């Protein structure tokens, strides 16, 4: 019987395998950042261990870096300590670090692909759940905790129970691809399969609706695999993948011969079996807006906030969850999504802060002004994205419209730096999680695409971007 | 293992409410623990006792890969989380560092066990006994692999038999 792409990558990375033991898997790339690595380095020191492959380990700082003027000192002492600790750890253990002043600094899942560190057919880990992003390149990319970070630093391997392959087919063509985006596809998937629908699996996204997407859009899809509970998500590499990675800073010298091998091997065989399957038809899907406190609590922009009964379909816990969510979000069932007023907008995060995201958002913004009721910020995913956007003049479009144009980092996606919501503030956010307090204690998050966020910034409430003239 | 239940009767308890992002900068685990569950239940820290268990619904620990989540709970004294299901990274982190036992339960146990109930967990028998209600439930057995890592006392103590 044939194999899925995931199984092929898995098999080619087994160091040790035995029945009823976890498999020891070789890790090709280890990305680290300031928040989930300090205890791992402490552990190495305590046990007098070295980093086994510093050359395969890359560090950046993203989670709690300020997104304001980088020449100023960091006011938050604990953030400053974490950043200095990473600098010291990288120096002591010989690890390449893209620090605060590096032109390569940025969100770890944005810089990996951008620098050609992320490669098809490889295994990639990082102490961050959104590592699944790198799966867009046909890599097996897993988010791990700090104990596993330490294990990988010390051994370049990881013990893993083999996840099950899950096929998600995305079929059809979007009528307006500028208005209905990759974010709307992945939110639709999560809305349908639930936040635990992918539990214990590696998703392979397939079908015309996926191959039609650019690499950056595929990253948005794979990024949110974890929001469906999956261990990882991936897309088989194709010419778009190979073109994207060609000529980047860390792209291997023997790239073309690697591409030849990848073309022959990195795909799911026609007779391979998946253990789970789901198909989404996207011809008629609408822009999505989350109304609740997990990414599955999402509906079409043209719909109204559902009642807990409608949402839960008879499941008592789901009903209670929806009631709590509506209370936290201060929303009433039956309120039209387009009547929800917002006061903050965040365009950023590893989900939606790449160049294409900013280009698409700028088309909505151009010639308009942010509503006087709204504070809106753009946080590019990396310093390189920021520079490229500035070369296209996007910064000017956003600044003219009264958006804040900031330095790269995770920023308001997770509220570790000063970019947070105040209690009760309501935000249209291009990030990945609408959990209670995620963007700041008491803050209310609505997950949307970059174009939806941009349109909400201008109008002060959600609008159906299909009604706008976008091209 | 015997303790009292703190019950959160809902699904999808995420890592951001278990330990909000703003506290991930804290390096001292005792201090980290003072903020556990702060996003969901501000009274948690005052009511939790050494040896308590948390009981919750489906997909417990979804979201971030932050190991701070099981660490914060364990440093409050939580010895096990009983849930209808777990998000995988949380489950893995809990086992890796031997911070707490992630125990999958069925609907009977979920419905039968209430806030404050005293329960006894017998991992070798895969049984949960509710002393308050005098009921017994089955727990889902750990997989052979997970059982071995737990028995060893965590990932770094686990030595697989590799011939």
Range with the poorest average pLDDT among A194-198, B109-113, B152-156: B152-156
Q: What are phi and psi of A113, to 5 degrees?
A: -65, -40
> Would you call A294 an interface residue with chain B, using a CB distance cutoff of 8 Å?
yes
pLDDT value of residue A345: 98
Using CA atoms, how far apart are residues A452 and A454, in angstroms rounded to an integer? 5
Residue B163 pLDDT > 70? no
User: Closest chain A residue to B16 measured between Cα atoms?
Assistant: A438
Strand, coil or helix: B87:
coil
**Whole-complex ipTM:** 0.94
pLDDT on residue A71: 86
Contacts of B59 in chain A (CB under 8 A): 195-196, 199, 229
pTM passes above 0.90: yes
- Give percent of chain B above pLDDT 90: 91
Q: Which residues pair with A123 in a beta bridge?
A: A140
Domains along chain B with CATH numbers: 2-157 (3.20.19.10)
pLDDT of residue B159: 83
Cβ atoms of B17 and B39 within 8 Å: the answer is yes
- For residue B151, with 0-12 CB atoms within 10 Å meaning exposed, 13-18 middle and 19 or more buried, which class applies? exposed
Please count the CA atoms within 13 angstroms of the CA of B34 that sit on its side-chain side.
Answer: 5
B63–A129: do the CB atoms touch at under 8 Å? yes
- Give the span between the Cα atoms of A431 and A404, in whole angstroms: 17
* Structure confidence at residue A469 (pLDDT): 79
For residue B126, the Cα-to-chain-centroid distance in whole angstroms is 16
Question: How far apart are alpha carbons A423 and A419 in whole angstroms?
Answer: 13
- Which residues of chain B have a CB within 8 Å of the CB of A18? 160-162
Do the chains contact at B11 and A317, CB–CB below 8 Å? yes
Contacts of B154 in chain A (CB under 8 A): 147
Look at residue A18 in the predicted model and tell me its pLDDT: 84
Q: For position A73, what pLDDT does the model report?
A: 86
Q: Which of B74, B100, B75 is nearest to B86 (CA)?
A: B100
Give the pairing of strands A23-26 and A14-16: antiparallel
pLDDT, averaged in runs of 10, over chain A (471 residues): 97 91 94 96 97 98 94 89 97 97 97 98 98 98 97 96 96 96 98 97 98 98 98 98 98 98 98 98 98 98 98 93 97 98 98 98 97 98 98 98 98 94 98 97 97 98 92 60
Number of H helices, E strands in chain B: 7, 7
Model confidence pLDDT, tens digit, residues A56-99: 999 999 999 999 998 888 888 999 999 999 999 999 999 999 99
Judge contact between A395 and A377, C-beta under 8 A: no
Tokens of A363: 């088309």
User: What 3-state class would DSSP assign to A232?
Assistant: strand
Please answer yes or no on whether B65 and A145 come within 8 Å at the CB atom. Answer: yes
Q: Chain A partners of B87 at a C-beta cutoff of 8 Å?
A: 196, 199, 229
- The pLDDT value recorded for residue B160 is 76
Mean pLDDT of B22-27: 92
Confidence tier at B162 by pLDDT (50, 70, 90): low
Question: What contacts 24+ positions apart, CB below 8 Å, involve B33-42?
Answer: B33/B71, B33/B72, B33/B73, B33/B75, B33/B76, B35/B72, B36/B72, B36/B73, B36/B75, B36/B76, B37/B73, B39/A435, B39/A436, B39/A437, B39/A441, B40/A436, B40/B8, B40/B13, B41/B8
List of chain B residues whose C-beta atoms are within 8 Å of the C-beta of residue A129: 63-65, 89
Residue A30 tokens read as 């280890």
Chain A residue with CA closest to B85: the answer is: A196
Q: For residue B145, what is the nearest residue in chain A, using CA coordinates? A: A21
3-class DSSP assignment, residue A85 = helix
Task: Using CA coordinates, name the residue in chain A closest to B67.
Answer: A145
Assess contact for A436 and A410: CB atoms under 8 A.
no
In tens, the pLDDT along B87-99 reads 999 999 999 999 9
Interface mutation target, options A15, A108, A145, chain B, most CBs of B under 10 Å: A145
Q: Which of B22, B57, B63 sits opposite A415 (nearest CB)?
A: B22
Over residues A231-262, the pLDDT tens digits come to 999 999 999 999 999 999 999 999 999 999 99
């Amino acid at each position: 019987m044939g194999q899925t792409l995931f199984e092929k990558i898995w098999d080619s990375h087994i160091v040790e395998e035995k029945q009823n033991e976890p498999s020891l898997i070789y890790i090709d790339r280890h990305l680290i950042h300031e928040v989930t690595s300090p205890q791992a380095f402490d552990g190495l020191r305590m046990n007098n261990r070295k980093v086994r492959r510093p050359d395969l380990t890359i560090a950046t700082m993203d989670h709690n870096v300020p997104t304001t003027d980088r020449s100023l000192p960091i006011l938050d002492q604990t953030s400053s300590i974490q950043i200095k600790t990473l600098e010291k750890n990288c120096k002591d253990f010989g690890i390449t670090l893209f620090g605060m002043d590096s032109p390569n600094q940025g969100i770890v899942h944005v810089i990996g692909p951008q620098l050609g560190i992320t490669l098809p057919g490889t295994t990639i880990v990082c102490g961050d759940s959104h590592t699944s992003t790198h799966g867009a390149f046909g890599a097996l990319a897993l988010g791990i905790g700090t104990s596993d970070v330490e294990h990988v630093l010390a051994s370049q391997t990881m013990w893993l129970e083999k996840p099950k392959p899950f096929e998600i087919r995305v079929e059809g063509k979007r009528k307006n691809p500028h208005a209905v985006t990759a974010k709307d596809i992945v939110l639709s998937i999560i809305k349908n399969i639930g936040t635990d629908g992918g539990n214990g699996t590696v998703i392979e996204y397939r079908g015309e609706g996926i191959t039609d997407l650019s690499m950056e859009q595929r990253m948005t899809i794979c990024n949110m695999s974890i929001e469906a509970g999956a261990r990882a998500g991936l897309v088989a590499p194709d010419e778009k993948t190979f073109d994207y990675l060609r000529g980047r800073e860390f792209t291997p010298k023997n790239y073309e011969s690697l591409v030849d091998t990848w073309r022959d091997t990195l795909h799911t065989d026609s007779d391979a079996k998946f253990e789970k399957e789901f198909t989404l038809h996207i011809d008629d899907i609408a822009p999505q807006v989350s109304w609740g406190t997990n990414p599955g609590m999402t509906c079409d922009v043209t719909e109204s906030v559902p009642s807990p009964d409608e949402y839960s379909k008879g499941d008592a816990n789901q009903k209670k969850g929806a009631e709590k969510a509506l209370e936290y979000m201060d929303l009433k069932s039956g309120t039209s999504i387009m009547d929800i007023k917002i006061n903050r907008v965040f365009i950023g995060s590893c989900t939606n802060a790449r160049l294409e995201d900013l280009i698409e958002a700028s088309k909505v913004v151009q010639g308009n002004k942010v509503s006087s009721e709204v504070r809106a910020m753009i946080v590019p995913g990396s310093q390189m994205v920021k520079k490229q956007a500035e070369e296209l003049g996007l910064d000017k479009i956003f600044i003219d419209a009264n958006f804040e144009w900031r330095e790269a980092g995770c920023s308001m996606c997770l509220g570790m730096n000063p970019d947070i919501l105040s209690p009760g503030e309501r935000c249209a956010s291009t990030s990945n999680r609408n959990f209670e307090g995620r963007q700041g204690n008491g803050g209310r998050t609505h997950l949307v695409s970059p174009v939806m966020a941009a349109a909400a910034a201008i109008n002060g409430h959600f609008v159906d971007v299909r009604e706008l003239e976008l091209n | 293992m015997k303790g009292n239940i703190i019950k959160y009767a809902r699904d999808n308890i995420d890592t951001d409410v278990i330990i909000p992002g703003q506290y991930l900068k804290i390096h001292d685990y005792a201090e980290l623990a003072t903020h556990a569950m702060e996003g969901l239940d501000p009274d948690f820290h005052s009511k939790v006792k050494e040896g308590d268990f948390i009981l919750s619904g489906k997909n417990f620990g979804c979201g971030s890969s932050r190991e701070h989540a099981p660490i914060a709970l364990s440093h409050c004294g939580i010895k096990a989380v009983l849930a209808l299901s777990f998000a995988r990274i949380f489950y893995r982190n809990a086992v890796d560092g031997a911070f707490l036992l992630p125990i999958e339960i069925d609907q009977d146990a979920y419905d039968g066990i209430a806030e404050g109930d005293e329960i006894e967990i017998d991992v070798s028998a895969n049984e949960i006994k509710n002393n308050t209600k005098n009921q017994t439930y089955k727990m889902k057995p750990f997989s052979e692999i997970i059982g071995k890592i737990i028995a060893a006392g965590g990932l770094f103590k686990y030595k697989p038999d590799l011939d």
